């Protein structure tokens, strides 16, 4: 599916990239090769429009184009003899002056969080701070194997995330970079009611 930019009142415009098809998130097989639909099947398509805070109120109009390609070996359709065809649909969206709180993420009925499927958070180099000891790094570093140091009973993950255990198997230290997250080693204490007693 592709989209054409939508124009609003006063010469303002929402570029086409702000309209995303939720069915084809970035990096997915569907984004690369399309969505497979069985002959005679129906496939709903969900779209989300990311309206910037500075957009002028008004009605924005544009088009959404959906292209279909018959799979190899599939017989041609009687009403669509071509192997590939495109349908375009006109779309209008009304934008009000009211600004959505937290981009609508705090209201689940808006489904605005679905845009996170296209998130590129964690990709590429990320700035670090001295306080966190370069704990945050690129996505390529996130998936490194966990390293075990049996002599110190510690596990280290990428991004300088480390957990060290006591001889009893409880966390003695949990750190990210130079930041220690535990105030003290974890202890397990059992208290029996009633004080003394027989065996």
**pLDDT of 97-106, one tens digit each?**
998 888 888 8
Q: What is the pLDDT of residues 121-161, one digit of tens each?
A: 655 554 555 444 444 444 444 456 788 999 999 999 877 88
Q: Rg (Cα) of the chain, in Å, rounded? A: 27
Q: What's the pLDDT band for 79 if we cut at 50, 70, 90?
A: low
* pLDDT, position 131: 45
Burial letters 58-79, b for 16+ CB under 10 A, else e: bebebebebeeeeeeeeeeeee
If you average pLDDT over every residue of the chain, what do you get?
Answer: 78
**Which of residues 194 and 23 earns the better pLDDT score?**
23
* pLDDT, position 25: 80
Coil, strand or helix at 75: coil
Residue 34 has pLDDT above 70, yes or no: yes
Number of residues that this document lists for the chain: 199
* pLDDT, position 88: 92
Residue 9 has pLDDT above 70, yes or no: no
Least confident of 4-8, 169-173, 190-194: 4-8
Coil, strand or helix at 63: strand
* pLDDT, position 136: 44
Cα–Cα distance between 50 and 103 in angstroms, integer? 9
Token pair 């997915």 in the structure block, residue? 28
* pLDDT, position 84: 79
Q: What's the pLDDT band for 80 if we cut at 50, 70, 90?
A: low
Q: What's the pLDDT band for 30 if we cut at 50, 70, 90?
A: confident
**Which of residues 5 and 105 earns the better pLDDT score?**
105
Structure letter (DSSP) for residue 76: P
């Amino acid at each position: 599916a592709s989209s054409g930019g939508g124009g609003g009142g006063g010469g303002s415009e929402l570029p086409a990239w702000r309209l995303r098809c939720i069915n084809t998130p970035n990096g997915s097989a569907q984004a690369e090769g399309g969505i497979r639909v069985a002959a005679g099947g129906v496939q709903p398509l969900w779209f989300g429009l990311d309206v910037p805070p500075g957009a002028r109120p008004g009605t924005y109009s544009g088009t959404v184009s959906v292209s279909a390609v018959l799979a190899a070996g599939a017989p041609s359709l009687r009403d669509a003899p071509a192997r590939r065809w495109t349908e375009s649909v006109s779309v209008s969206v009304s934008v009000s002056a009211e600004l959505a709180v937290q981009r609508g993420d705090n209201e689940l009925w808006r489904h605005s969080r679905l845009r996170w499927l296209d998130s590129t958070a964690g990709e590429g180099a990320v700035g670090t701070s001295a306080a966190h000891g370069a704990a945050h790094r690129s996505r390529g570093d996130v998936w490194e194997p966990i390293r075990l140091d049996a002599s110190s009973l510690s596990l280290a993950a990428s991004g300088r995330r480390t957990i060290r255990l006591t001889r009893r198997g409880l966390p003695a230290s949990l750190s990210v970079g130079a930041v220690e997250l535990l105030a003290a080693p974890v202890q397990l204490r059992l208290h029996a009611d009633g004080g003394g007693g027989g065996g």
